[in-house]
Structure 1
Amino acid sequence: MANQIPNRQVICETLLKLAQEDRDIVVLASDSRGSAAMAPFAAAYPEQFVEVGIAEQNIVGISAGLAHSGKKPFVTSPACFLSMRSIEQIKVDVAYSATNVKLVGISGGVSYGALGMSHHSVQDLAVTRAIPGLAVLMPADRHETKRMTEALVGYEGGAYIRIGRNPVEDVYESGDYEFTIGQAVTMREGTDLTIIASGETVRVALDAEAALSESGISCRILNMHTIKPLDVEAILRAAKETGRIITVEEHSIHGGLGAAVAEVVIQHHPVPMRIIGIPDEPAIAGKTSEVFDHYGISVRGLKQAAFDLLGR
């Protein structure tokens, strides 16, 4: 579709506009200005752009220093390296030190495709959401990426934002909706079960809802764009009103969105659940669509999970 553009490009375009008025916005890259689509920002605002090179630990430390001096740093680096190689710096320099750093993990999930486990980033949510004082977010499309970036500029505190590499299909008709960090968006109402998705799996969930509707199943869709702080109220409302929950994510089934939702459900209102994601194995190499299909992160996979929960 003509409207499909990568979320990383949207972040650059949004920061370009905001930086015109806010000279404290600084973008840092780890030899990734091209892959992060930040070349236009570097060209327009060379004094507000820092190229650190292949040094993920250093880029986090430098960004924390800039934040301490009153700047609003946005770090752009491949998610697989940013969330693993520099996790100690994220924990200490950003979270523990309460610095205003936004860590943008680009090419997250399985977007590096054929490069396999070394470049897949399907453990990052588990690691980052366990760090106190660090928000964790994933936008679903270009509209949400724009709104999220605008919100993050004014958000005081550290945050990890994971985005993919490839163009994504819209899930919103426009950006004219209320976006609040920590507040899930109800994309579809339903009474038989709820599918909770985040990031690029929101589109999959919406397509699954359409297929389930044809089978007479009323399915609620929640876009949990913020993994932390989690919208506990939306989860409990879904558990009480629909009685069944499926989570779907481009992440390991251990420690990510599914685990976060299950922690709430099991403690406050237990209902039958299914967690759809990458199992405890190195994810297969291939295009994102191929990986999704293989692991049931698909309309067919979600439809089958719904049938299982409903006993059909």
Structure 2
Amino acid sequence: MRLVRYGEAGNEKPGLIDDDHVLRDLSEDVGDIAGEFLGRAQMERIRAIDPKSLAKADPSHRIGSPVGRVGNFIAVGLNYSDHAKETGADIPKEPILFNKAPSCIVGPHDDVIVPRGSDKLDWEVEIAIVIGDEASYVSEADAMDHVAGFCLCHDVSERSFQIERGGQWMKGKSAPTFGPLGPWLVTPETLGDPQAVDLWLDVNGERMQTGSTATMIFGVRTLVSYISQFMRLMPGDVITTGTPPGVGMGMKPPVFLKPGDIVTLGGTHLGEQRQTIRAATS
């Protein structure tokens, strides 16, 4: 099952993509793809709906983030062994966690805006976990019971803010538009093995990142269980799980994004994103 939110920013409606790749309107049955609607009981109710019984929606609508009202946007750093190697970092003994501001979340085709003072804007393709049921002190064996699904995430990063300005990584991870999600939330049974997802990212048509979740240091079950030892994960929380190699910071010499660049990215069963990098206008 592939769930979407479509329409103008801030006024998205819930929908789904059927097996014929047709956008269907879920708004008569579901309030939003958010919060309590992501729990197991509600998701089973959505699964029971015949997609052909839903009205078709205009496919020209903007596609927004597939998750609304995100409370916590949690990120994992240096979670691919080959990415850690390219940055010269040691393999972490435990997951490295930081926050991205939920206010940075946008749709998969919305522009990415270069923040004031930025000179090292970088890209990171990732798979993100969407929490469905509250999780606190869960075991790895039970972790997937708390997952509503997965989505593609572009963890846009400003490296000078992140590394050279002191303090937490969130400084370089939270500017407006730094968290494109989607195009859809794919449920676990449709995704298959989350540790066998291919990921890729291009800049101006040139392949920069090619990787697989198979090289994650800490897998999906481990991350959900681990994070739940430190905080109560709530329905609609998003955990973006790290990036494979090929980021601009790791190139010799480093390469960074500039206004006018086009970034495209995708993953197995996760769909594709496309963003234009724009200079800030205010």
TM-score (normalizing by structure 1)? 0.30
Which protein has the bigger strand share? 2
Higher relative contact order (CA closer than 8 Å, sequence separation 6+): 2
Structure with bigger gyration radius: 1
Which protein has the bigger helix share? 1
